[in-house]
């Protein structure tokens, strides 16, 4: 079986990548500023809603219902789309999906395609697969374009170039577009606009993802901010939409919940500027060929895990990234996947389905379990619980390690108060390592702690020893 | 009627910070509680569970139920351990006794915010993640601190951000943890406080370990010790 491209080939484990990223002062500065701003805005946008918690519960319940009935709802979607003149394709994995899309492009004799920002196509490595097949994919979302022109990797679900500041973007544009441009946001946007306009008008095939697909009507929904999506979705002759099978909602009315939850959670807007909805093909209006490629790529396997499956509720808002103290410091590329941050830490290993992989096994540990992600998730994914659940699977996959032996020993000691007390007394001898009431250096793995923090000297008398002496009659 | 309370000291406080547990005893007895300390207690199993050793944490959760099951109220000077018992033990097949973090117990069960404390120092408060998000302790600790006589309470900037401890996270991702710690320390130092207060010795050990390494002169002090301090018997820094 081919490698799942949800992780980037050759990426180191999270701690190694993070260690490097933490040294990048520009990255740290860019992220602190960007996440801090969006955090504040999201909080304000959500605070306006008196029924926010009810909306979150509704979002959770609709998505759970979808996941429980995914088999029948998908067939219903296929029927609805087909009835309205669309063609539905099913892809087991990235390789199958990429081949379907490449074949469709070739059938249209396209050598260039325009793209709406899409996580699904990034997950399957579609751009690279198309390029290998002789088709050039042009990203039209501004941030995605910055990443593409910079021959970079994305670092955020919604704002893939969040790790770049405007002077870096100016440099990329000048180098790749061959234009003189200032670092004023309006000038940078204008440069991208001029560059892209020609592509919109001449390209015959567009590729998009989907935020939602409505099973009973067959309608596909894309939310965006820049209008590039609207161009791609209306101008070309052929539209190919690549969508994860979990992006369904049962009925049109269910959208009312998500169209409130998503913009406020992702861009902190009451309503996003562009919401495009299309249903199959409309003669004489918009693309006359519509293909919907449904991808599994690890989703069915994820669905079989009763705890882990809640990750499939995700609507890709990225609120969890913006509040995550780990993400804010390491940036998204440290996660080695198109899905960074807290959601990436639970989604990537599951889609990959191989916890023997060192990167996948390191991701569930890329969190202090502070819970800020769960607090903001619009579909109430209990990310900390899924993290500890996946950690248990990692421990099982790794088998006997130095850590597991130490943990077993500690658990054995804790199971009996008498053993615990003996260990406590023995451990308190460490106070003789202390100077001025503190220990500044310990051997490995304690050195990982003392590299930046002192340890208080253990007291000569534990609390229980004091209690025994002062409060026990016997 | 005196309220009977079992103290769950937590393994960390029992071993490293006995003065915190003694302060809880002193405080609760001052508030007319009868405090018992079942000597069979050890650890709630949080480190094991959070690191992925779910199976090893199960007997520890069982032990907790066995040791404390007969009590109406169990009080722990830790939001994190109380959160482990309340939120996680039930997922391990246990029906744990009612377990409270100290501030919750004082405000919700005893119904007090002014505990008659006196603490003449400039203090800033870090609301630890599990107190805040797992237990929903909210501003109860702040209400308690505001009622302490002579205490100068200064707000901690970005207070709700994690300090970077996260149990074994501090070791497994030591560099990221340190980056989070650095920002937390910056916020603490910005307040000009001489004392950093929190309801969890684990987070205090982490932030305090950094503050000590840099010789900042800021001392971590558990909420219980501040609340136990009175004019007649004031808190004294342990050497």
Q: What is the pLDDT of residues B87-122, one digit of tens each?
A: 999 999 999 999 999 999 999 999 999 999 999 999
- B42 pLDDT band, cuts 50/70/90, is very high
Residue A357 domain flag: yes
A262 and A313 assigned to the same domain = no
Whether A19 maps to a domain, the answer reads no
What is the Cα gyration radius of chain A?
26
DSSP characters for B162-210? --S-TTTHHHHTHHHHHHHHHHHHHHHHHHT-SEEEES-HHHHHHHHHH
Pair A387, A369: CB distance under 8 Å: yes
The tokens describing A35, both together, are: 């996440």
Domain end, chosen from A276, A297, A318, is at A297
Nearest Cα neighbor of B21 from B66, B71, B75 is B75
Whether A426 and chain B come into contact, CB under 8 Å, resolves to no
Cβ within 8 Å, pair A417-B39:
yes
List chain A pLDDT tens, one digit each, 474 residues: 688 999 999 999 999 999 999 999 999 999 999 999 999 999 999 999 999 999 999 999 999 999 999 999 999 999 999 999 999 999 999 999 999 999 999 999 999 999 999 999 999 999 999 999 999 999 999 999 999 999 999 999 999 999 999 999 999 999 999 999 999 999 999 999 999 999 999 999 999 999 999 999 999 999 999 999 999 999 999 999 999 999 999 999 999 999 999 999 999 999 999 999 999 999 999 999 999 999 999 999 999 999 999 999 999 999 999 999 999 999 999 999 999 999 999 999 999 999 999 999 999 999 999 999 999 999 999 999 999 999 999 999 999 999 999 999 999 999 999 999 999 999 888 888 898 889 999 998 899 999 999 999 999 999 999 999 999 875
A-chain residue closest to B180, CA distance: A325
Same domain, A161 and A251: yes
- In this structure, are strands A438-439 and A455-456 parallel, antiparallel, or unpaired? antiparallel
Q: Which helix (H) or strand (E) holds B99?
A: strand B99-101
Q: Is residue A38 part of a domain?
A: no
Q: Is A455 on the interface with B (CB under 8 A)?
A: yes
Q: Is residue A23 part of a domain?
A: no
Q: A444 to chain B: which residues are within 8 Å by CB?
A: none
Burial class (CB in 10 A: 0-12, 13-18, 19+), A109: exposed
CA distance B156 to B124: 6
Q: How far apart are CA A311 and CA A303, in angstroms?
A: 9
Looking at the structure, tell me whether residues A268 and A389 fall in a common domain: no
A168 part of a folded domain = yes
> Are A365 and B172 in contact (CB < 8 Å)?
yes
**Which residue of chain B is at minimal alpha-carbon distance from A449?**
B171
Q: Which of A273, A238, A286 is nearest to A114 (CA)?
A: A238
Confidence band for B78, pLDDT divided at 50, 70 and 90 = very high
Same domain, yes or no: A394 and A406: no
Give the distance from residue A419's alpha carbon to the nearest chain B alpha carbon, in angstroms.
10
For residues A233 and A133, membership in a common domain is answered with yes
- Expressed as residue numbers, the domain containing A57 is 49-297
Residue in the structure block whose two tokens are 């893939």: A160
Task: Tell me which residues of chain A, numbers 349 to 408, contact chain B at a CB-CB cutoff of 8 Å.
Answer: 364-372, 374-375, 388, 391-395, 403-404, 407-408
SS3 call for A205: strand
**Cα(A142)–Cα(A160) distance, integer angstroms:** 9
Q: In the prediction, which pLDDT does A474 show?
A: 54
d(CA B203, CA B80): 9
State the CATH number of the domain containing residue A198: 3.40.50.10420
Q: Which tokens in the block code for residue B33?
A: 């509680």
User: Percent of chain B having pLDDT more than 90?
Assistant: 97
Domain shared by A435 and A344, yes or no: no
Q: Can you tell me the distance from the alpha carbon of B163 to that of A178, in angstroms, rounded to the nearest whole number?
A: 45
Cβ atoms B9, A464 nearer than 8 A: yes
Domains plus CATH for chain B?
3-109 (3.40.50), 122-228 (3.40.50)
CATH of the domain at A389: 1.10.1060.10
pLDDT at position A1 is: 63
Q: Indicate yes or no: CB of B48 within 8 angstroms of CB of A14.
A: no
- Residue at a domain's end among A259, A281, A297: A297
Q: Please determine, for residue B1, whether its predicted confidence score (pLDDT) is greater than 80.
A: no
With respect to residue A251, please indicate whether it lies within any of the assigned structural domains.
Answer: yes
Q: Which residue has the tokens 């558990």?
A: B222
Check whether residue A367 and residue A413 sit in a common domain: no
**Tokens 């990692």 appear where?**
A394
Residue A279 in 3-state DSSP?
strand
Q: Which of A203, A187, A192 is nearest to A140 (CA)?
A: A192
- Contact check, Cβ <8 Å, B14/A14: no
Same domain, A214 and A171: yes
Under 8 Å between Cβ of A354 and A327: no
Is residue A390 domain-shared with residue A422, that is, in the same domain? no
**pLDDT for the residue A430:** 87
Q: Clarify whether residues A276 and A151 are in a common domain.
A: yes
Residue B213 has pLDDT above 60, yes or no: yes
Give B239's pLDDT tier (boundaries 50, 70, 90). low
Residue A322: closest CA among A366, A259, A266, A387: A266
Helices (H), A218-324: 228-234, 255-266, 299-303, 319-323
In a domain, A350, yes or no: yes
- The answer to whether B116 contacts chain A (CB < 8 Å) is no
Q: Does A8 reside within a domain?
A: no
**In A194-331, at which residue ranges do the beta strands (DSSP E only) sit?**
205-208, 212-214, 219-224, 238-244, 248-249, 274-279, 289-295
Contact A218, A81 (CB under 8 A): yes
Cβ count near A134 (within 10 Å)? 11
Residues A293, A322: one domain? no
Sheet holding B195-198, edge to edge: B152-154, B122-125, B195-198, B219-222
Judge whether A325 and B180 are in contact, CB under 8 Å.
yes
Of the candidates B66, B61, B69, B73, the one whose C-alpha atom is nearest the C-alpha of residue B28 is B73
- Measured between alpha carbons, how far is A351 from A360 in angstroms, rounded to an integer? 10
**Of A68, A149, A38, A148, residue with least CA distance to A313:** A68
Final residue in a domain of this structure, among A372, A398, A424: A398
> Residues 6 or more apart from B203 whose CB is under 8 A from it?
B80, B126, B128, B129, B163, B165
CA distance B78 to chain A (A): 15
pLDDT at position A311 is: 98
Q: Within a 13 Å sphere around the CA of A95, how many CA atoms are in the beta-carbon half? A: 4
Into how many domains does chain A fold?
Answer: 3
Do A160 and A243 belong to one domain?
yes
Reading the block at residue A223, the tokens are: 């939310």
């Amino acid at each position: 079986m081919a490698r799942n491209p949800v992780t980037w080939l050759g990426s180191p484990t999270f701690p190694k990548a993070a260690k490097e990223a933490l040294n990048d002062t520009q990255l740290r500065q860019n992220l602190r500023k960007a996440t801090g701003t969006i955090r504040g805005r999201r909080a304000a946008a959500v605070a306006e809603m008196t029924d926010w918690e009810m909306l979150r519960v509704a979002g959770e319940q609709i998505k759970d219902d979808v996941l429980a009935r995914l088999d029948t709802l998908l067939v219903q979607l296929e029927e609805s789309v087909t009835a309205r003149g669309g063609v539905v394709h099913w892809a087991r994995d990235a390789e199958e999906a990429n081949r379907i899309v490449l074949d469709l492009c070739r059938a249209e004799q396209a050598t260039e395609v325009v793209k709406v920002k899409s996580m699904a196509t990034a997950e399957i490595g579609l751009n690279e697969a198309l390029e290998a097949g002789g088709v050039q994919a042009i990203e039209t979302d501004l941030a995605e374009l910055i990443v593409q022109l910079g021959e970079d990797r994305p670092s955020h679900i919604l704002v893939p170039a969040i790790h770049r500041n405007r002077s870096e973007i100016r440099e990329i544009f000048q180098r790749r577009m061959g234009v003189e441009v200032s670092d004023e946001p309006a000038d940078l946007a204008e440069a991208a606009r001029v560059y892209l306009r020609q592509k919109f008008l001449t390209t015959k095939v567009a590729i998009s993802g989907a935020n939602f697909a409505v099973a009973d009507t067959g309608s596909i929904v894309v939310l965006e901010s820049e209008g590039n999506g609207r161009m791609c979705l209306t101008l070309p002759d052929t539209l190919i939409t690549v969508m994860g099978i979990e992006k369904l909602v049962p009925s049109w009315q269910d959208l009312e919940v998500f169209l409130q939850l998503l913009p406020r959670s992702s861009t902190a807007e009451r309503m996003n500027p562009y919401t495009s909805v299309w249903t199959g093909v409309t003669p004489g209006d918009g693309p006359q060929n519509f293909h919907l490629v449904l991808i599994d790529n690890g989703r069915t396997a994820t669905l079989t895990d009763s705890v882990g499956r809640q990750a499939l509720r995700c609507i890709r808002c990225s609120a969890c990234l913006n509040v995550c103290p780990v993400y804010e410091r390491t940036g998204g590329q440290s996660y080695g996947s198109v899905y960074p941050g807290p959601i990436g830490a639970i989604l990537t290993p599951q889609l990959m389905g191989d916890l023997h992989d060192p990167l996948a096994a390191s991701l569930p540990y890329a969190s202090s379990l502070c819970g800020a992600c769960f607090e903001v998730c619009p579909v109430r994914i209990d990310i900390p619980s899924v993290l500890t659940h996946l950690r248990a699977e990692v421990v099982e996959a790794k088998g006997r390690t130095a850590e597991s032996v130490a943990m077993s020993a500690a658990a054995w000691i804790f199971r009996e108060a008498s053993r615990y007390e003996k260990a406590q007394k023995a451990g308190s001898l460490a106070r003789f390592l202390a100077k001025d009431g503190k220990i500044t250096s310990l051997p490995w793995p304690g050195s990982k702690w003392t590299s930046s923090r002192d340890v208080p000297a253990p007291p000569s008398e534990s609390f229980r020893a004091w209690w025994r002496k002062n409060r026990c009659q016997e | 009627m005196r309220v009977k309370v079992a103290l769950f000291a937590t393994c960390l406080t029992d071993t490293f910070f006995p003065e915190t547990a003694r302060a809880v005893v002193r405080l609760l007895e001052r508030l007319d509680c009868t405090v018992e300390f079942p000597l069979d207690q050890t650890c709630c199993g949080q480190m094991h569970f959070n690191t992925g050793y779910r199976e090893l944490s199960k007997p520890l959760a069982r032990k907790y139920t066995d040791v404390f099951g007969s009590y109406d109220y169990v009080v722990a000077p830790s939001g994190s351990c109380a959160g482990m018992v309340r939120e996680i033990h039930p997922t391990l097949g246990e029906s744990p006794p009612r377990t409270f973090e100290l501030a919750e117990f004082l405000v919700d069960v005893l119904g007090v915010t002014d505990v008659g404390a006196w603490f003449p120092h400039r203090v800033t408060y870090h609301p630890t993640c599990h107190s805040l998000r797992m237990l929903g302790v909210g501003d109860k600790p702040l209400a308690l601190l505001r009622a302490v006589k002579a205490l100068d309470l200064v707000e901690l900037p970005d207070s709700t951000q994690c300090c970077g401890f996260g149990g074994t996270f501090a070791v497994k991702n030591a560099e990221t943890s340190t980056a989070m710690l650095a920002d937390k320390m910056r916020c603490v130092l910005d307040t000009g406080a001489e004392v950093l207060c929190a309801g969890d010795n684990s987070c205090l050990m982490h932030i305090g370990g950094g503050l000590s390494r840099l010789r900042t002169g800021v001392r971590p002090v558990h909420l219980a010790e501040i609340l136990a301090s009175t004019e007649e018997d004031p808190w004294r820094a342990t050497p």
